[in-house]
Amino acid sequence: MVRLGEYSLNLVGAGGQLLPEVQHNGRAYAVASPGDPFTVRLAQRPGYSKLDGSHRMAKLFMDGVYVGYNKVFEKPRFGDFEGFLKAGDAHGTAYQSFVFSKPVETAAKQVTGLNFQEGSIRCQVYRAQFTGDRAALPRYYGPDSTNESIAKMPEGKKFFLAPSLTTGKGELKLGSGFDTRTFIMLDGGQPTAELELRYETAATLLLRGILKRDNPAHRAILQQFPDTAEREEGEENDESAAGPSRGAASGAGRKRPLKQQQQQAQRQAAATRAFDEDDEVLAAKRADKVLECDLTAEGEGPEWRAVQKTVHGL
């Protein structure tokens, strides 16, 4: 939830539940999945301040795109933006619901910083004055397109710093007609409040270090989404499965079989043997003998001795 003065902004899922959120460096992030429909809710807290006789008008932008209509508050309450306006007049309206969408990279956009418009919801609140009623209301139309593309990240830039979600147009919804009352904006048309809420997938927020597995509240959020929940359960299973095998491996290291000890002793001897005419291996060969390693010796290193070759008859 983003809260500024008497206002708060959050996202509502298809079942009426508020989407989980996390705060990081002064920003609020709603956590969501592609394909899920949602509603944007602006609330004005009752009792926070007295209205001065003026109304409050809210204007909403999704990924930098104006949704095509405003909401007017007459008293402390909340208002839901359900989608992009398709068309509407005094007799009825049609909206296309908000739905989270996977963005498409395009070369038509350039990265000028990491403060992307995509993946962002911005709401401006104005003071407005009622001026009268209109006998006739023209037919209004919403935006032709949404902002569902992002600039391709340059080579060397981390891909997860770019938004992994945008807002697209979902199913068509019909509503009642627009209010025929007219208003003018006060304060020179300047907003009295501007709220911004960003939204992302749990996996991307995990890669950015905004969601952390060792934080119990964050862990509860991660468990709500299949990609991050499966990953965590898999890691827990890997750890439980790997525990005994690592213990067995360390135990085997403490007590190696005799054959492994012999092989190691031979490698150590080969690595430290001097290659000159007085080499003990060459001396043993001259005497038609072989070298044996005494692993029962009390010294730190292996002890070698030359013994006569054993000849086996057929």
Whole-model pTM? 0.71
Does some domain include residue 33?
A: yes
Write the CB contacts of 49 (distance below 8 Å, at least 6 apart in sequence). 5, 6
Structure tokens at 255: 């007590």
Does some domain include residue 239?
A: no
For the chain, percent of residues with pLDDT exceeding 70:
69
Residue 63 exposed, middle or buried by CB count within 10 Å (0-12, 13-18, 19+): buried
Q: What is the pLDDT of residue 240?
A: 44
Helix (H, G, I), strand (E, B) or coil at 295: coil
The parent domain of residue 190 ranges over 2-227
Does some domain include residue 185?
A: yes
In single-letter form, the type of residue at position 65 comes to V
Of 14-28, 187-201, 295-309, the one with minimum mean pLDDT is 295-309
How does pLDDT run across 207-229, given as a tens digit for each residue? 999 999 999 999 999 999 998 98
Asked if residue 150 lies in contact with residue 163, where contact means CB atoms within 8 angstroms, the answer is yes
In single-letter form, the type of residue at position 304 comes to W
If one counts the domains in the chain, the total is: 2
Average per-residue pLDDT for the chain:
80
Instruction: Give the C-alpha separation, 68 to 70, whole Å.
Output: 7
Q: Which of 227, 250, 279 is the last residue of a domain?
A: 227
How does pLDDT run across 107-154, given as a tens digit for each residue? 888 777 667 889 999 999 999 999 999 888 899 999 999 999 888 887
Q: What is the pLDDT of residue 48?
A: 57
pLDDT higher for 43 or 46? 43
